[in-house]
Amino acid sequence: MLSRLVLVALLLCASCAPRVIDPVDPTALEVGSPETVFVATSRAQEDDGTFGAGRSQDLSLLEVTVSVPPDRIPGQFRKPRPPVDPRREFVTAEREILPSEAVFRKRLKAQLDRLPPDRRAVTVFVHGYNDTQPASAFRVAQMQRDLKIPGVIIAYSWPSRGSPLGYIYDQDSMAFGRDGLERLLRIIRSETGRPVLLIAHSLGSYLSMEALRQADIKTPGWSSRALAGVILISPDLDIEVFRTQMARLQPPPSPLVIFSNTGDRALDVSGWMRGDRAKGRLGNVDGIEQLTDLPVLLVDMSEFNDPRGLSHFLPASSPALLAVLSETGWVDRVFGENNVTLSGRFGQATVAQSGQAAAVKLPAVPQSPGAGLR
């Protein structure tokens, strides 16, 4: 009973946080430094030109310049709250709604052409529950800066309510957003001719796997041919549902990496809401015993938990984990090579193999102060 009360208290405390605001302030770049982010969204446009929680059958395409605050500790991510301070917070310096898919294709190609040939990668990031369109763009800018992901990153923003108490709405919106993500992936693939890396967080992992499943139902084997890999971070996804999704992907994209954490408090809440007392979510699975017949790599981040937060987005928010990923050269391997062996992705870390699945438990290192929001 006490543990349930603690979980409910965490959820209710989160609901007290103010919603993200998104003023466009070009002067923020006098303080911060720019990151260009493309955004594709299935959110409906509001009267003021922003994109809120409403749903749209149309896919809107944007190019956003984000001002990244100076003197920021890697992993630190502050959402803007009034009054906005570009010295401490991510700020939208410019937002352009692109008039057509053709313009988006042209901008994407131009951005890639500016890069060296070996850095012309495209990554799509799908956010999780309780997120907004500007927050997803800010998170992509933060990941670009801290993980030094090469190429172009595109944020796919599905119509989440952007409220901790909007979980049921977000479940429906997640299903609604599948078509938009599939369309985006097909646009990128047809325009660039290059495999796309798909990164998804939390409930966005559910959405992403559903989009790939329906793409393969239409075009068998499409996901494996079109994607350079899939990375699911703290996936809020039932393990049995994940199995049915994987069964439709013949073969599944490779590599397929799952970042898990047995101490993920947000996934504990998700499991409790479903009456599931066991670690039944894919993102907090305890070991690979339930996944041995699937070609996946499970990366256990449990040693990097922060008792001050939910520990729900550690690869982007934990300075200590960011340092480990940087030191092992994991990002360069994932983005710079195709078809490398799973065991080669984490430097000297020991990878355990069980059936088709592999697992690695990242070693603990001292936590750095100033970790970002989780």
Q: How far is CA 24 from CA 50, 93, 148, in A?
A: 11, 5, 25
Q: How far is CA 77 from CA 6, 318, 371, in A?
A: 25, 10, 8
Amino acid at residue number 32: G
* β-strand partners of 325: none
Three-state secondary-structure class, residue 86: coil
Per the CB < 8 A criterion, the answer to whether 43 and 62 are in contact is no
Per-residue pLDDT tens digits of the chain, which is 374 residues long: 434 434 443 443 343 333 445 789 999 999 999 999 999 999 999 998 899 999 999 999 999 999 999 988 888 887 777 788 899 999 999 999 999 999 999 999 999 999 998 888 999 999 999 999 999 999 999 988 888 888 899 999 999 998 888 889 999 999 999 999 999 999 999 999 999 999 999 999 999 999 999 999 999 999 999 999 999 999 999 999 999 999 999 999 998 999 988 877 778 777 777 766 555 789 888 888 989 999 998 988 887 777 666 667 777 666 666 665 655 455 555 554 443 344 445 555 567 889 999 888 777 654 444 444 33
Angle between helices 2-14 and 265-273 (to 10 degrees): 110
CA 24, CA 16: separation in Å to the nearest integer? 25
Judge residue 41's burial from the number of C-beta atoms within 10 Å of its C-beta, 0-12 exposed, 13-18 middle, 19 or more buried. buried
CA 220, CA 196: separation in Å to the nearest integer? 17
